[in-house]
Amino acid sequence: MGRQSCGYKQKLRKGLWSPDEDEKLLRYITEHGHGCWSSVPKLAGLERCGKSCRLRWINYLRPDLKRTRFSSQEENLVIQLQSVLGNRWSRIAAQLPGRTDNEIKNLWNSSIKKKLMQKGIDPNTHKPLSEVKLSTSKCPEKASRELDTAISLNLKADSSKPSLIDVSSCKIEKGDDNLNASKTSAHQEFFPDKSLPFNRYPNIQHSPLDSIAYLQFPVQQLNHEQLELDQKCSLFEPNQELNSRTLVPTISRSILSAQMDNKIHAGLPFHSMGTFNNIHWDSSNCSSESSEFQKKSLFDSNVFSWGLADDGGSSDKTLQLHSADAETTDIKWSEYHNTSFLAEHNQQTLHS
């Protein structure tokens, strides 16, 4: 007999969240922080389990979420990180400010996987499918299934257009940490500065076929230790406050104003700016260094100003991408914005 789900004791609501429930949760966490998730529903007046509340907050209500489509740079980054980390979505999400593991997982499963297969790359190994076919011949059924999928996707793709991807240069090896750990190179740091790796790896090729570009840099030299180091050092760790059990998920006025002045602004639902305007950081349970960093890292860094160093006019492209992102309206949020409680929040914002 399997384990009971979290709402087995009482009759708890399931399924999609209503605006009313969102309001309750948002109000509660805004005022009190989440604290112990299992007590949140009771205290917030919700007939949900704590797990559900946590998920709703993390994946939807959090004020620092981007609500825009993934940019091609973000997709590239997901591909790169997945090649190194595998399906560790939360780890990957930690490197993408404003993105959730769920979102990235969905992107991977619904979009990136297919795009890679269309380009003849096995999404599991990041190797050319022909290689994968050979190496998986020990398990013919599975290999055949995967290959069939890949082939059908490949056929759907426009074969008349040449792919610019040089798969042979993408020597991605997973799971050989010892080997990786021993290697040093100019590329050893993963993203050593606040920008994304594209500046550092100039031989990126962009396919005109779609927005996916496949990087040509020595991915095999990235390793888990380095990524863990990145996380510990929080070079551009965006969600540290959310990973912490002790920190109240709040946002400072200074951050908020910076946020409102910067590009991230465009992706945020209007109401969140006002809603969180009067909240302060509760850093009582973390070191001053880390909290200071948290304040700085998210918005003071240039993580949203990704540049592509490879091409002429890249900055123009980047700008275009950003503005395209900025113009992406999230229908759900705009609908949401019109609900009563959000309208109320917005009014308050306007009056303050």
Three-state secondary-structure class, residue 266: helix
**Choice between 243 and 278, CB closer to DNA:** 243
Three-state secondary-structure class, residue 213: strand
Closest CA to 114 of 146, 139, 68: 146
Residue from 19, 27, 33, 35 binding DNA (CB under 7 A) = 35
Instruction: Please report, as residue ranges, which positions from 313 to 332 form the binding site for DNA (by CB under 7 A).
Output: 331-332
DSSP designation for 234 = T
Beta partners for 213?
Answer: 206
Residues binding DNA: number (CB under 7 A): 46
Sign of CA dihedral 277, 94, 297, 73: negative
Which range touches DNA (CB under 7 A), out of 49-57, 183-191, 310-318, 339-347?
49-57
Neighbouring CB atoms inside 10 A of 47's CB total 14
253 binds DNA (CB under 7 A): no
Residue from 19, 27, 33, 102 binding DNA (CB under 7 A) = 102
56 binds DNA (CB under 7 A): yes
Residue for token pair 């109401």: 271
**Choice between 136 and 216, CB closer to DNA:** 136
Residue from 101, 122, 230, 325 binding DNA (CB under 7 A) = 101
Three-state secondary-structure class, residue 277: coil
Q: Is 98 left (phi over 0), alpha (psi -120 to 50) or beta?
A: left
Q: Smallest distance, Å, CB 70 to DNA?
A: 8
Residue from 33, 47, 90, 277 binding DNA (CB under 7 A) = 90
Which range touches DNA (CB under 7 A), out of 105-113, 142-150, 208-216, 310-318?
105-113
Q: Smallest distance, Å, CB 16 to DNA?
A: 4
CA angle 324, 329, 335 (to 5 degrees): 175
Residue from 32, 42, 45, 109 binding DNA (CB under 7 A) = 109
33 binds DNA (CB under 7 A): no
Output the CA torsion 257→265→202→106 (10° steps). Answer: 130
Which range touches DNA (CB under 7 A), out of 3-11, 178-186, 189-197, 214-222?
3-11
Which range touches DNA (CB under 7 A), out of 43-51, 136-144, 174-182, 261-269?
43-51
Give the Å distances, CA to CA, from 35 to 77, 227, 285, 306. Answer: 32, 29, 12, 35
CA angle 260, 265, 269 (to 5 degrees): 110
224 binds DNA (CB under 7 A): no
9 binds DNA (CB under 7 A): no
- Which helix (H) or strand (E) segment holds residue 231: the answer is helix 224-233
Q: Could you list the residues that contact DNA (CB under 7 A)?
A: 2-7, 13-17, 34-38, 48, 50-52, 54-56, 59-60, 69, 87-91, 101-103, 105-107, 109-111, 114, 243-245, 331-332
